[in-house]
């Protein structure tokens, strides 16, 4: 099937073709069939009609490989992009191959990869895509774990790597204007002399981009106290799917109108492309304490998590690792993690010295009440860094037991952590897989890792089935699909586990207000009935952790 069909099918399913994609006669009849709509206004297309399923990605590779199969159309598109960008519009097989996938899945090739250096160029690319009815999507560092940056339908990939300037640091207003390709940790490093930092800190922060953080509303260990990305974005310059450039939010206290900024953050590239952001600066805490607690019973450790929160403490981070995770991490980083423990908690308290000191005592008391083995308080910054190194390298360290892993991301109420963890182990056993758990316990954000060797026959299906069971178990326990990785492709078809049809329909209406033609990162987030057979393979790259 030619790739272009995927996009057309989506538009048809959504009730209309875009202005630049003339509907076929059959589509036209369907569009005007009043039976599909209670109201004569096509906007009131109230019945959610799932489109016909598109073929799995693996069968989408046409002989041309990542093109529409219409050579003349592809050549015309490339010529227009070249006129704008010169040799920064690339269609060679090598570079298109580089952009096939992100941190999650084996994807498909884009038609063209563009490397704009300005927001105006991004707008120009989007306008060219519109003219050619070609989907487009932005891509940051490609560390996303839910397939949000996987190019489907031979789109134009707009890589933000060259949009990497810190434009202005405005301490007076406690914001910094940055381009989307600025790396998360680079920003905090640049801010260090001023005594401020950017609070969201995904474990991939050495390599992930701020643009990607915005697209996914990313979290990180320290979001427990400071909130996820959306709380740290004041304003966004956005190129809309129409090709217009606008500003959402503002540095002022209460920008007028609906919170388009809040809606855009976490919309995974389906409402446009951020080309500049005003991010909020958080003052560095005067005091920081990091503790390592070990338990010989996972349920005692999990109960201690709830007890710490119930005691009125909001640690800046509260992380948990299970025995398997401790073993592989200790063998890898030699941080002195107790390998005989069933679970460890990494607790960080920051703020003013009095509150931090009082917090340390509360944590100690709670830990002792839950039969803690040892309470280790990092003596200095280097010991603190070592403890964190263990946590932040955990996913890479999985390579010590199996060459591949599939990393999950769900959230459950803290009180259900033990129960869901037990289910995760049972599910992994049932599918003959190894489960490793390293996660943000403080906010109930589970990250089960299923380690496997993709060379084993049939393992793909087992991993996929186990992943689905874990999501189902989390939701049954009152949880949600994703805490910080996003929906992308990976969980798009699970949206119905959490939301009713009308809920999803409402979300689709909102997307349509931004992108009526379905060109902005199509087939992501909202289910369309398509499936993706290879959505879970993960080789272990250092530096691509959550």
Partner 1 sequence: MSGSLAAAIAPAVTEFAREVGTSGPVTVVGGRTHWHIGGPPAADTREVRAPSGVWEHEPSEMTVRCGAGTTVAELAEHLAPGRQMVPFDPTDEGATVGGVLACGLSGHRRLRYGHVRDLVLQTRHVDSDGKVVTAGGPTVKNVSGYDLPRLLVGSLGTLGLLAEVILRTLPKPAASQWLAGDADPFAAHDLLYRPSSILWNGSSTWVLLEGDPADVAAESAKLAPLGFEETDGPPSIPNEGRQSMRPSDLRTLVDTAADISASDGHRAANGAPRSDGGWIAEVGIGLVHRRGPVPVGSTSSTNAALMTELKRRLDPSNRLNPGRRAW
Give least dist CB 545 to partner 1, A.
17
- Name the one range near partner 1 by CB under 8 A: 74-82, 96-104, 199-207, 406-414: 406-414
Among 88, 162, 174, 389, binds partner 1 (CB under 8 A): 174
* 286 touches partner 1 by CB under 8 A: yes
Burial zone of 361 (CB within 10 Å; 0-12 exposed, 13-18 middle, 19+ buried)? exposed
Give least dist CB 295 to partner 1, A.
18
* 529 touches partner 1 by CB under 8 A: no
The residue behind tokens 């591949």 is 404
* 288 touches partner 1 by CB under 8 A: no
Footprint of partner 1 on residues 420-439 (CB under 8 A)?
Answer: none
Q: Draw the binding track, 111-150, toward partner 1 (x: CB under 8 A; -: no contact).
A: ----------------------------------------
* 504 touches partner 1 by CB under 8 A: yes
- For residues 533 and 416, give the distance between their C-alpha atoms in angstroms, rounded to a whole number: 31
* 536 touches partner 1 by CB under 8 A: no
* 545 touches partner 1 by CB under 8 A: no
Give least dist CB 338 to partner 1, A.
26
Q: Residue 355 or residue 543: which is nearer to partner 1 going by CB?
A: 355
Among 68, 133, 160, 216, binds partner 1 (CB under 8 A): 216
- Positive or negative, the CA dihedral 461, 467, 473, 475 is negative
Name the residue among 447, 524, 437 with its Cα closest to residue 488: 524
Among 63, 86, 312, 457, binds partner 1 (CB under 8 A): 312
Structure tokens at 164: 């990497």
Q: Under 8 Å CB-to-CB from 299, ≥6 apart: which residues?
A: 418
* 476 touches partner 1 by CB under 8 A: yes
Among 75, 353, 453, 539, binds partner 1 (CB under 8 A): 353
Structure tokens at 29: 């009849």
DSSP 496: H
Count of alpha carbons within 13 Å of 134, Cβ hemisphere only? Answer: 31
* 259 touches partner 1 by CB under 8 A: yes
Give least dist CB 385 to partner 1, A.
22
Give least dist CB 201 to partner 1, A.
14
Kind and range of the H or E run holding 201: none
- For residues 54 and 276, give the distance between their C-alpha atoms in angstroms, rounded to a whole number: 34
Q: Draw the binding track, 313-352, toward partner 1 (x: CB under 8 A; -: no contact).
A: xx------------------------------------xx
Among 161, 169, 231, 401, binds partner 1 (CB under 8 A): 231
Backbone torsions φ then ψ of 26, nearest 5 degrees: -65, -40
- For residues 127 and 298, give the distance between their C-alpha atoms in angstroms, rounded to a whole number: 54
Q: Which residues of 385-406 are buried (b: 16+ CB within 10 A; e: fewer)?
A: ebbbebbbbbbbbbbebbebbb
* 380 touches partner 1 by CB under 8 A: no
- For residues 135 and 350, give the distance between their C-alpha atoms in angstroms, rounded to a whole number: 45
Among 73, 251, 386, 401, binds partner 1 (CB under 8 A): 251
The residue behind tokens 């690319």 is 125
Footprint of partner 1 on residues 74-113 (CB under 8 A)?
Answer: none
DSSP 218: -
Give least dist CB 78 to partner 1, A.
29
Q: Residue 169: helix, strand or coil by DSSP?
A: strand
Is the Cβ–Cβ distance between 206 and 183 less than 8 Å?
Answer: yes
Q: Residue 106 or residue 201: which is nearer to partner 1 going by CB?
A: 201
The residue behind tokens 């952009």 is 99
Among 19, 53, 56, 478, binds partner 1 (CB under 8 A): 478
Name the residue among 540, 350, 344 with its Cα closest to residue 454: 540
Footprint of partner 1 on residues 37-76 (CB under 8 A)?
Answer: 39, 41, 43-44, 46
* 395 touches partner 1 by CB under 8 A: no
Question: Judged by CB under 8 A, how many residues of this single chain contact partner 1?
Answer: 98
Is the Cβ–Cβ distance between 277 and 178 less than 8 Å?
Answer: yes
The residue behind tokens 């830990």 is 367
Among 21, 104, 108, 267, binds partner 1 (CB under 8 A): 267
* 496 touches partner 1 by CB under 8 A: yes
Name the pairing type of β-strands 343-351 and 445-446.
Answer: unpaired
Structure tokens at 478: 């009152």
Q: Draw the binding track, 3-22, toward partner 1 (x: CB under 8 A; -: no contact).
A: --------------------
Give least dist CB 250 to partner 1, A.
8
* 502 touches partner 1 by CB under 8 A: yes
- Name the one range near partner 1 by CB under 8 A: 64-72, 132-140, 202-210, 237-245: 237-245
- Name the one range near partner 1 by CB under 8 A: 69-77, 201-209, 242-250, 366-374: 242-250
* 168 touches partner 1 by CB under 8 A: no
Give least dist CB 436 to partner 1, A.
21
Give least dist CB 158 to partner 1, A.
20
Among 71, 506, 541, 542, binds partner 1 (CB under 8 A): 506
* 387 touches partner 1 by CB under 8 A: no
Is the Cβ–Cβ distance between 462 and 469 less than 8 Å?
Answer: no
Among 11, 445, 521, 538, binds partner 1 (CB under 8 A): 445
* 190 touches partner 1 by CB under 8 A: no
Torsion region of 478: left, alpha or beta (phi above 0 gives left; psi -120 to 50 gives alpha): left
Backbone torsions φ then ψ of 437, nearest 5 degrees: -120, 120
**DSSP secondary structure, 261-330, as one string:** HHHHTTSTTSS-EEEEEEEEPEEPPSEEEEEEEEESSHHHHHHHHHHHHHTT---SEEEEEEHHHHHHHH
């Amino acid at each position: 099937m030619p790739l272009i069909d995927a996009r057309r099918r989506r538009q048809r399913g959504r009730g209309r073709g875009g202005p630049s994609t003339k509907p076929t006669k059959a589509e036209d009849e369907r569009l005007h069939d009043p039976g599909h709509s209670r109201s004569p206004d096509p906007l009131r297309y109230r019945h959610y009609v799932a489109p016909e399923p598109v073929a799995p990605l693996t069968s989408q590779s046409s002989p041309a490989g990542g093109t529409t199969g219409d050579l003349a159309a592809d050549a015309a598109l490339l010529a227009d992009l070249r006129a704008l960008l010169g040799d920064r519009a690339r269609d060679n097989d090598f570079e298109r191959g580089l952009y096939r996938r992100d941190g999650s899945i084996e994807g498909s090739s884009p038609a063209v990869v563009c490397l704009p250096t300005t927001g105006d160029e991004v707008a120009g690319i989007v306008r060219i895509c519109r003219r050619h009815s070609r989907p487009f999507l932005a891509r940051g560092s490609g560390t996303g774990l839910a397939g949000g940056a996987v190019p489907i339908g031979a789109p134009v990939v707009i890589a933000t790597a060259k949009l990497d300037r810190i434009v202005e640091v405005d301490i007076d207003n406690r914001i910094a204007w940055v381009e989307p390709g600025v790396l998360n940790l680079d920003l905090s490093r640049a801010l260090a002399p001023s005594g401020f930092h950017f609070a969201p800190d995904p474990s991939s922060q050495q390599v992930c981009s701020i643009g990607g953080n915005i697209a996914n509303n990313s979290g990180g260990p320290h979001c427990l106290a400071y909130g996820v990305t959306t709380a740290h974005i004041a304003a966004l310059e956005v190129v809309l799917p129409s090709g217009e450039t606008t500003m959402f939010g503002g540095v002022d206290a209460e920008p007028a109108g609906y919170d388009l900024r809040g809606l855009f953050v976490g919309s995974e590239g389906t409402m446009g492309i951020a080309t500049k952001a005003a991010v909020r600066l958080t003052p560095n805490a005067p005091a920081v304490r990091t503790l390592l607690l070990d338990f010989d019973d996972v349920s005692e450790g999990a109960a201690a998590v709830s007890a710490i929160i119930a005691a009125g403490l909001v640690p800046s981070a509260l992380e948990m690792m299970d025995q398997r995770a401790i073993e592989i991490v200790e063998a890898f980083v030699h941080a002195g993690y107790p390998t005989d423990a069933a679970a460890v908690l990494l607790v960080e308290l920051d703020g003013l010295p009095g509150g931090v000191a009082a917090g340390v005592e509360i944590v100690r008391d709670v830990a002792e009440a839950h039969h803690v083995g040892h309470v280790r308080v990092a003596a200095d910054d280097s010991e603190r860094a070592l403890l964190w190194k263990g946590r932040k390298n955990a996913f890479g360290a999985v390579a010590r037991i199996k060459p591949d892993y599939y990393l999950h991301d769900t959230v459950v109420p803290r009180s259900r952590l033990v129960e869901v963890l037990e289910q995760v182990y049972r599910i992994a056993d049932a599918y003959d897989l190894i489960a490793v758990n390293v996660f943000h316990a403080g906010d109930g954000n589970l990250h089960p890792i299923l380690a496997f060797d993709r060379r084993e026959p049939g393992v793909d299906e087992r991993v996929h089935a186990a992943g689905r069971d874990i999501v189902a178990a989390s939701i049954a326990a009152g949880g949600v699909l994703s805490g910080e990785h996003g929906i992308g492709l990976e969980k798009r078809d699970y949206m119905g586990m959490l939301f009713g049809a009308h809920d999803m329909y409402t979300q689709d209406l909102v997307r349509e207000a931004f992108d009526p033609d379905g060109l902005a990162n199509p087939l992501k987030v909202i289910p369309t009935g398509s499936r993706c057979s290879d959505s879970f393979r993960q080789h272990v790259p250092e530096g691509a952790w959550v």
